[in-house]
Amino acid sequence: MLIVAVVGPTATGKSDLALDLAQRLGERAPGGAEIVNADAYQLYRGMDVGTAKVPVAERRGITHHQLDVIEPEDDASVARYQEAARADLEAIAERDARAVVVGGSGLYVRALLDAMDFPGTDPEVRAALERRAEREGARALHDELVRADPAAAESIGPRNVRRLVRALEVIAITGQPYTANLPRQEYVRPTVQVGLDCDRATLDARVAGRVARMWDEGLVDEVRDLAPRLGRTAARAVGYAEVLPLLRGETGEDTAREAVAANTRRLARKQMGWFGRDPRVHWLDAQAPDLVERALAVVDAADAGAIAAPGDAPVRRSLGS
């Protein structure tokens, strides 16, 4: 059965649409419908308010997968997520149910849906590269990557030490360019992607509303409770990274709150850039009063083998344009 993926930038209403689609599509499928999360930070147990995780009581009785599956002190792994989430898709298919994937973490969406291999790691190679980064600086690693894989070097840039180390590690392990291991736009299972988009002014207003709700729902208390357990990856999540300095007394509440809003807006632009490069996404206006019907029309067209819903070609993105 065709997988339905709801993608796009944060604060556009993906979770609500995924619930609506799962409810409606589940009425048609013998086994109902189940939702698979593809948001990297919603994987973390206890990171609820700051990730806008749908509370259990509001999930309408629909089974959700890949929520609360790792501890805050652990580092998320795209490779581990791919293995576990693909197993969920397999089990959902065996139950003759419809899978609805939802999330804004582009790499996780691609790892789940597309052909993407993860080369292994070599602790010795990685440690040597990390020592070089400390001794020679990130620029030296970037220069080496320019010679070995110019496309990867351009994509990563000269400041992201973690990704530079990983790219050079993969090259050393596989003997191939790092870009040869990047995901291909090739579904591993039949899929249709529905993207939610809205203009910048509307999105910024939605972000402001979300941040206000997060504050009212206790974001600061949530971060305070989790702070002793937040690992390197979890501590970088938007909403958590900005509140931690507040708890340390390094900034004021108004400054922290504005930083959360500003970084959420920045995240939305980045997500739109990622998903906007995928020509397979069928874009819909997040504000459309008949959004659910439009999304269902896209799914029905895909089920029927059509490229797009009749008379409704994929909407071009407005963010970042």
- Residue numbers belonging to the annotated binding site: 8-15
Helix (H, G, I), strand (E, B) or coil at 192: strand
Q: Which residues are annotated as a binding site for substrate?
A: 10-15
Contacts of 106 (CB under 8 A, 6+ apart): 7, 271, 274, 275
Q: How many angstroms from the chain centroid is the CA of residue 63?
A: 20
Of 277, 283, 271, 285, nearest to 316 (Cα)?
283
Cα four-point dihedral sign 182, 186, 191, 196: positive
Q: Which residues are annotated as a binding site for ATP?
A: 8-15
Tokens 């086994």 found at: 31
| Residue 75 tokens, joined | 């580092």
Nearest-angstrom CA–CA distance, 16 and 114:
24
Contact 161, 138 (CB under 8 A): yes
Q: What Rg do the C-alpha atoms of the chain give, in angstroms?
A: 20
